[in-house]
């Protein structure tokens, strides 16, 4: 099918062989090379089309963005041309990044402007949430760890995106990486009557505001700064966590702040990061993507410290054989009993105020966690954790069948010596699960959450772990020969004795100090993309 780009055409669909539109007589082939296949989206000021480039071998797909002023006013036309040239210039600056669509061509034809961009096949995050539901905290942190470097790169090019939102973030089908699209901010509908009565500059600014609800106050007031993108990214995180649009959340009428905290269940450390991203005042908001990345690293360390305190075994004269368990709804305000076993229990979300002092073995330093509310000198609040009821041990078949039914959450499970060889489990959640000695050879664990998981001595040979979250995971002596770890998040993971010979670590977040503890060889692809050396 050939599609007519004339905005006034009543029947834009035409047969493949047609040279001119059968309804309006317009030429169907743009610049004698671009065949329009169909419309992807449109607004009052333009439209976006799926297109084939007939001049190149294989006739590759691309995207044509049409900017079409719907008025004869010369001021509005001049404004449209300025918008067009600005977006082309912006794409020329940032399009060298692998997660930003490349600008392939741009031209003017019959007082309409066209940008030709690389086609990105995949679903945007708005569609993903509608289909699969909200993200977990770990999923959103992984999302931030991937997107923040892109935003940092864009800001280094002196560009403010101004329209970051789930619909403008496409998960590329080929490698599952996020791609940031739409640098034009020209989708808003134009009222040509009003526009014709204003100056070109006034009309120009009306289309550079962004999307209401995602854009911060200073951007709505036509004064965007780099931190404006940080705010929009924070709102995007809230959407991913809640599946609720910002317009569906209440706003504090006194401060203008979005009241989101009652809708999410995240750790206090991560909530603090989100709150700072969403500060209404630019003065108190993170100023750069780098600041957010540093804060995320700090919150991960804070969570790790809190977890080590929670799960520390409590010595007692008399050990009970009964596991510590309770109903999810139970609220604890009293201190832990000293009869609690030394076994680690998965704890999250129930408000527990522990008051105990463990005596150190061999005269070592005592570990003390007195109830914080009774100690005015100690400003740290009592840890809030959730007590999850202990489940029966899952086997390989139960996990695969559960995954096929749509279950993705297998966090904090005892899964030692599991056999999931060649299993297809992209996006599965094994957060803090025990997978010691498990066979995961040739499995697809791309985008999996394996944060804090125990994978010591696990078999991960030729496993697809691209974009997997492995922060704080224990990979001691794990077999990762030939594994695909492209874009994996390995910060603070224990790689002591791990076999990474032939593994692909391109774009992985891992330090030279971590890799020095692992086995590598000349076939190992380092994060820089080079083989055999950093």
Q: Outline where 95-177 has alpha helix (H).
A: 125-132, 137-156
Say if CB 488 and CB 505 are below 8 A apart.
yes
- C-alpha dist (Å) from residue 298 to 144, 290, 301, 302, 305: 14, 12, 5, 6, 11
In sign, the C-alpha dihedral spanning 287, 288, 294, 296 is positive
- The crossing angle, in degrees rounded to 10, of helices 137-156 and 226-242 is 160
Q: Does residue 163 have an active-site annotation?
A: yes
Q: Outline where 6-115 has alpha helix (H).
A: 74-94
Say if CB 478 and CB 488 are below 8 A apart.
no
- C-alpha dist (Å) from residue 93 to 97, 228, 287: 9, 20, 22
- C-alpha dist (Å) from residue 127 to 130, 166, 176: 5, 8, 14
Q: Please, which residues have CB within 8 angstroms of residue 32's CB and are 6 or more apart in sequence? A: none
Q: Please, which residues have CB within 8 angstroms of residue 468's CB and are 6 or more apart in sequence? A: 445, 446, 447, 448, 449, 450, 485, 488, 489
Q: How many CA atoms lie within 13 A of 54 on its CB side?
A: 12
Residue 63: in which H helix or E strand, if any?
Answer: strand 61-67
Q: Read off the DSSP letter of residue 246.
A: G
Spot the catalytic one: 53, 163, 444, 484: 163
Indicate the length of the chain as a whole number. 534
- C-alpha dist (Å) from residue 372 to 55, 314, 361, 375, 387: 70, 19, 25, 5, 20
Please list the active-site residues. Answer: 163
């Amino acid at each position: 099918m050939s599609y007519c780009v004339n905005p006034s055409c009543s029947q834009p669909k035409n047969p493949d062989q047609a040279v001119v539109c059968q309804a309006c007589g317009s030429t169907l082939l743009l610049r004698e090379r671009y065949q329009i296949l169909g419309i992807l989206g449109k607004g009052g000021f333009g439209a976006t089309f799926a297109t084939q480039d007939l001049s190149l071998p294989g006739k590759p797909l691309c995207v044509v963005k049409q900017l079409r002023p719907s008025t004869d006013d010369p001021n509005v036309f001049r404004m449209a041309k300025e918008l067009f040239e600005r977006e082309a210039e912006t794409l020329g600056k940032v399009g060298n990044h692998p997660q930003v669509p490349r600008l392939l061509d741009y031209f003017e034809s019959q007082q309409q402007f066209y940008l030709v961009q690389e086609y990105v096949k995949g679903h945007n995050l708005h569609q993903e949430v509608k289909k699969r539901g909200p993200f977990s905290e770990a999923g959103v942190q992984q999302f931030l760890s991937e997107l923040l470097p892109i935003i940092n790169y864009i800001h280094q090019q002196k560009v403010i995106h101004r329209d970051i939102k789930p619909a403008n973030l496409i998960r590329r089908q080929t490698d599952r990486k996020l791609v940031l699209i739409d640098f034009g901010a020209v989708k808003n509908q134009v009222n040509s009557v009003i526009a014709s009565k204003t100056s070109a500059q006034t009309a120009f600014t009306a289309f550079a505001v962004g999307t209401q609800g995602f854009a911060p106050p200073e951007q709505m007031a036509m004064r965007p700064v780099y931190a404006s993108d940080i705010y929009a990214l924070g709102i995007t995180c809230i959407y991913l966590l809640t599946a609720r649009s910002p317009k569906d959340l209440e706003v504090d009428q006194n401060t203008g702040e979005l009241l989101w905290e009652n809708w999410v269940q995240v750790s206090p450390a991560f909530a603090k990061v989100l709150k700072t991203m969403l500060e209404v005042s630019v003065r108190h908001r993170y100023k750069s993507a780098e600041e957010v990345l540093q804060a995320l690293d700090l919150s991960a360390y804070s969570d790790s410290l809190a977890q080590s305190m929670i799960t520390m075994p409590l010595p007692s004269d008399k050990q009970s054989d009964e596991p510590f368990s309770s109903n999810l709804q139970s609220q604890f305000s009293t201190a832990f009993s000293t009869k609690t076993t030394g076994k680690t229990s998965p704890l999250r979300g129930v408000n527990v105020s522990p008051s105990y002092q463990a005596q150190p073995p061999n005269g070592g330093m005592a570990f003390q966690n007195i109830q914080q509310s009774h100690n005015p000198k100690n400003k740290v609040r009592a840890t809030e954790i959730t007590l999850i009821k202990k489940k029966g041990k899952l086997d390989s078949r139960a996990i695969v069948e559960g995954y096929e039914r749509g279950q993705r959450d297998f966090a904090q499970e005892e899964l030692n010596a599991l056999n999931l060889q060649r299993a297809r489990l992209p996006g599965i959640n094994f957060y803090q699960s025990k997978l010691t000695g498990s066979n995961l050879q040739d499995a697809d664990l791309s985008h999996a959450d394996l944060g804090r998981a125990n994978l010591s001595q696990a078999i991960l040979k030729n496993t697809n772990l691209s974009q997997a979250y492995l922060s704080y995971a224990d990979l001691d002596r794990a077999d990762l020969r030939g594994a695909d770890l492209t874009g994996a998040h390995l910060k603070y993971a224990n790689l002591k004795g791990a076999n990474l010979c032939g593994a692909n670590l391109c774009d992985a977040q891992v330090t030279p100090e971590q890799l020095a503890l692992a086995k590598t060889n000349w076939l190992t692809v380092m994060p820089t993309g080079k083989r055999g050396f950093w």
